[in-house]
């Protein structure tokens, strides 16, 4: 199943999917960090 999936996507599509995955991870990390920072700021304030 996994081999078929890998064959289905060629190198270009693989890079595109990896780029999207990394972008989503960065957005999630920034969002979580922002929430934590905002929460700490509110608690301190």
Q: Quick one: pLDDT at residue 6? A: 62
Q: Quick one: pLDDT at residue 44? A: 66
Name residues whose C-beta falls within 8 Å of residue 2's C-beta, 6 or more positions apart in sequence. Answer: none
- Would you place residue 4 in the very low, low, confident or very high pLDDT band (cuts 50, 70, 90)? low
Q: Quick one: pLDDT at residue 45? A: 56
Instruction: Report which secondary-structure segment, H or E, holds 16.
Output: helix 11-44
pTM for the full predicted model: 0.53
- Which tens digits make up the pLDDT trace of 7-27? 666 667 778 888 899 999 999
Q: Quick one: pLDDT at residue 39? A: 81
Cα(45)–Cα(38) distance, rounded to whole angstroms?
10
């Amino acid at each position: 199943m996994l081999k078929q999936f890998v064959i289905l996507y060629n190198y270009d599509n693989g890079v595109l999917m990896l780029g999207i995955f990394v972008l989503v991870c960065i957005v999630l990390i920034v969002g979580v960090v922002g929430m934590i920072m905002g929460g700490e700021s509110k608690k301190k304030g």
